[in-house]
Structure 1
Amino acid sequence: MNSLHYRDESTELHLGDALEVMATLPTASVDCVVTSPPQWGLRDYGTAEWVGGNPRCRHTLGTTPHQRRSVKKTGIGGHRARAEKHCRRCGSISRDKQYGLELTIDEYVHKLGEASAEIARLLTPEGTFWLNLRDGYSYHNNGTGSTRRIGPEESDQVVRHKSLMGIPWRVALHLQKRGWIIRNAIVWHKPNSIPDPAADRFSSRYEMVFLLVKQPDYHVDVSHVLEPLSQERPAHRKSHRGGNKPYTIKSPWRPLARGKNPGDVWSMSTRPLPDAHCAPFPIDLPWRCIAAGCPENGRVLDPFSGAGTTGLAARHLGRFYQGIDLRRDYHDIALRRLADSQSADIDRPEAA
């Protein structure tokens, strides 16, 4: 399968399923992976292929993510009569490789686990894997108060209506069981997040970014992303000594770095994107991940590249970029952004 959509001296874009395309790439060929997979149950990106039915039908799996994931049930005990998803209008079979519309949370988690196995193969031993995941709530109540299924139907494991599902940590702990080291659990705070209409809980203003590595020795150099020191100490404080009391300072204070470690709470505002892609993260986020976690002249991969924000950050930092996506039009958006990136101020990271 030739999945190559575009290639130049700094960028390579592939069209197709992340797992299938990654399987064709050479082992230990990537230094850094920065990606944000589709959230479970949030939206349908319209990548389904339809088999049979009425070719003139405007196929649909339903109007809500819950309907699009569900399969019609018939027979004694509600057993599934058909294992595949069908158009609710004409019965055409839906074949879809996108992530996020799995029937259960476990299926979504395990699918990301399979992708992580390919990522582990592609990464160099010192490589880093930065995974951005957003949580969500269990909605679309069916009257029982238990609408979001965790595992197989016979397991009776559910997340009750209105409960936070905890998907980022479900995924992270599953990857830990697969051998990944969770080096950081970073909170991406969004100061300008979308207004939340909920009146019986606090608004959600963050997403998670996990730093995952394959071995204890890996490439992360925080000196490339230091933040300015809050203020300079006055001269009399620099030479201050603690005297002869136990457990007090014995030498003058001298700053050892040009700035301070940014820590594991990153406050970064989202940025508008006039194109069609639904949920791009700001360039500031992949810029920081790549600057710290990818060596100079290294290679960066985003297996769910979407509008190519990771590619923009990689280009600014002089790294080679590989992107994978199911939708051709998203790659076209990414190419337009890359072509305009030299003059478009909106695409330049605040941290640069």
Structure 2
Amino acid sequence: MGQILQLFDEEQAPRPATKDIPRNQAEIIVGDVRKVLQGFPDSLFQTCVTSPPYWGLRDYGIEGQIGAEMDIQDYIRDLVSVFREVRRVLSDDGTFWLNIGDSYTSGGRTWRDDDAKNKGRGMSYRAPTPKGLKPKDLIGVPWKIAFALQEDGWFLRTDIIWNKPNCQPESVKDRPTRSHEYVFLFSKSEKYYYDHEAVKEPAQDPKQKSKNRRTVWNINTEPYPGSHFAVYPRQLVRICIQAASQKGDRVLDPFFGSGTTGVVCNELNRQCTGIELNEEYAELAQQRLLLGK
């Protein structure tokens, strides 16, 4: 298992995607996804599985980073633009799996202190309360994005609740602790590839061996010792890739982060291309892929 790590040169013409990525070897491209994607030909990938930076929750220390927009509408527009390019580079029967979490208004606060229990919680900025909302409001970011993508041309096929049995504790006393995130399944076309047999789940009825996968997935979060603090679990990615592709297919992750999508692609014998803005995270993903976990 290995990887191809390369830097994107913005001064050169858009680069064509590598034609033949060896199996069990992920391609990692360091650069701004908004520019890198323009270099890929149409219909290159079978599926896209990704988790972009959540709005207003993390400061990755990169100028122009998606997720740090002061206006929620700018964040949505940025993601719609990125995923429009993703739709172009997907095969006609391809799918797009989007993991996204929600957030609350900042209540007028302009920064956030560090938390020993939650790496990366500290932020030097806080976006102002969006127009029309109130302090402490739940923003509804996932559905705002889902509806914007639907309007832009994607087929919104289902919402999936990722329930986290071992969720991060919260100190709030005036609402329940949030223990879930969303995974949305989009398709490029009305008809698309989906292997329901590959992702069946055990049936409670002893007379049945399995049943069609439901829309609530109980999956523990996974600790990762690296410096990247927003890592979605391999099991969540595994289900998406098994349902959406076959061995040897190309998988895209435009927000590669610590490389979870690449690790699972190696495991399942898929080819993977990951795009990551932060060179430090790309190097972390490179090391992780070498270890295979």
Confirm whether residue 160 of structure 1 aligns to residue 130 of structure 2: no
Structure 1: which 5+ residue stretches go unaligned?
Answer: 48-95, 151-156, 234-254, 342-346, 348-352
Matches within 5 A, 1:188-227: 188-227=162-201
- C-alpha separation between the residues in 1 aligned to 2:99 and 2:221? 14
In the comparison of the two structures, how many residue pairs are matched? 260
* Secondary structure of the corresponding residue to residue 275 of structure 2: strand
Identity of aligned residues (%): 37
Deviations 1:136-180 (A, max 9, x none): 1112436xxxx8444xxxxxx332100000000000000010011
1:230 maps to 204
- C-alpha separation between the residues in 2 aligned to 1:314 and 1:40? 27
Confirm whether residue 340 of structure 1 aligns to residue 291 of structure 2: yes
Deviations 1:206-230 (A, max 9, x none): 0000000111110111110111222
Structure 2: which 5+ residue stretches go unaligned?
Answer: 1-7, 110-126
- C-alpha separation between the residues in 1 aligned to 2:239 and 2:38? 28
**Contact 2:158–2:185 (CA under 8 A) maintained in structure 1:** yes
* Secondary structure of the corresponding residue to residue 210 of structure 1: strand
**Contact 1:148–1:160 (CA under 8 A) maintained in structure 2:** no
Confirm whether residue 310 of structure 1 aligns to residue 261 of structure 2: yes
Instruction: Letter of the 1:189 partner, please give it.
Output: N
- C-alpha separation between the residues in 2 aligned to 1:198 and 1:261? 36
**Shift in Å at residue 8 of structure 1?**
5.7
**Contact 1:219–1:295 (CA under 8 A) maintained in structure 2:** no
* Secondary structure of the corresponding residue to residue 158 of structure 1: coil
Instruction: Letter of the 1:215 partner, please give it.
Output: S
Of 97, 109, 131, which residue of structure 1 is paired with 2:76? 109
**Shift in Å at residue 331 of structure 1?**
1.4
1:276 maps to 227
- C-alpha separation between the residues in 2 aligned to 1:139 and 1:218? 40
**Contact 1:191–1:268 (CA under 8 A) maintained in structure 2:** yes
* Secondary structure of the corresponding residue to residue 324 of structure 1: strand
- C-alpha separation between the residues in 2 aligned to 1:130 and 1:316? 19
**Shift in Å at residue 196 of structure 1?**
1.0
**Shift in Å at residue 97 of structure 1?**
2.7
What RMSD over aligned residues (CA atoms) do the two structures have, in Å?
A: 1.8
Instruction: Letter of the 1:25 partner, please give it.
Output: F
Confirm whether residue 26 of structure 1 aligns to residue 41 of structure 2: yes
**Which gives a bigger RCO, structure 1 or 2 (Cα 8 Å, sep 6+)?**
2
* Secondary structure of the corresponding residue to residue 174 of structure 1: helix
**Contact 2:129–2:135 (CA under 8 A) maintained in structure 1:** no
Instruction: Letter of the 2:239 partner, please give it.
Output: R
1:183 maps to 157
* Secondary structure of the corresponding residue to residue 301 of structure 1: strand
Matches within 5 A, 1:314-329: 314-329=265-280
- C-alpha separation between the residues in 1 aligned to 2:212 and 2:168? 28
1:57 maps to none
- C-alpha separation between the residues in 2 aligned to 1:97 and 1:288? 32
**Shift in Å at residue 259 of structure 1?**
1.3
Matches within 5 A, 1:261-300: 261-300=212-251
Of 52, 55, 74, which residue of structure 2 is paired with 1:37? 52
- C-alpha separation between the residues in 2 aligned to 1:322 and 1:213? 19
**Contact 2:107–2:134 (CA under 8 A) maintained in structure 1:** no
- C-alpha separation between the residues in 2 aligned to 1:287 and 1:261? 16
Confirm whether residue 131 of structure 1 aligns to residue 146 of structure 2: no
Instruction: Letter of the 2:156 partner, please give it.
Output: I
- C-alpha separation between the residues in 2 aligned to 1:287 and 1:2? 32
Instruction: Letter of the 2:189 partner, please give it.
Output: Q
* Secondary structure of the corresponding residue to residue 109 of structure 1: helix
- C-alpha separation between the residues in 2 aligned to 1:264 and 1:208? 10
* Secondary structure of the corresponding residue to residue 45 of structure 1: coil
- C-alpha separation between the residues in 2 aligned to 1:12 and 1:181? 28
**Contact 1:26–1:122 (CA under 8 A) maintained in structure 2:** yes
Normalising by structure 2, we get a TM-score of 0.85
**Contact 1:30–1:299 (CA under 8 A) maintained in structure 2:** yes
